[in-house]
Amino acid sequence: MGVSTPTALLSLALCLSGGFQQGYVASVLNQPYIAVEEYINTSWIERFDTPIDRDWLNLIWSALNIAYPLATILGQ
């Protein structure tokens, strides 16, 4: 029993065309990172009256990126 090449290619294309992007967009915070970084910076300025350090911003951004998929897994 074999799967023809066109069928295999169609399966692969369908796998990569729908759910993959949806899952990627839902789990990786790439696109809104500038807005989120500005928000973190603004909050930091309101709280501490000084702009956030780049290292702290990277640390908070990394923590957010880890927390988001974890929350998605735990929330299911």
Ligand X SMILES: *[C@@H]1O[C@H](CO)[C@@H](O)[C@H](O)[C@H]1NC(C)=O
How far apart (Å, rounded) are the C-alpha atoms in residues 13 and 60? Answer: 36
Query: Binding of ligand X at residue 65 (CB under 6 A)?
Result: no
Q: Which of residues 26-45 bind ligand X (CB under 6 A)?
A: 41
The angle formed by the CA atoms of residues 58, 59 and 61, to the nearest 5 degrees, is 65
Query: Binding of ligand X at residue 51 (CB under 6 A)?
Result: yes
Query: Binding of ligand X at residue 60 (CB under 6 A)?
Result: no
Q: Which of 54, 73, 74, 75 binds ligand X (CB under 6 A)?
A: 54
- In the complex with ligand X, which residue's Cβ is closer, 47 or 54? 54
How far apart (Å, rounded) are the C-alpha atoms in residues 14 and 24? Answer: 15
Helices (H), the chain: 5-17, 19-27, 33-48, 54-75
Binding residues for ligand X, how many (CB under 6 A)?
5
Contact residues for ligand X, defined by CB under 6 A: 41, 51-52, 54, 57
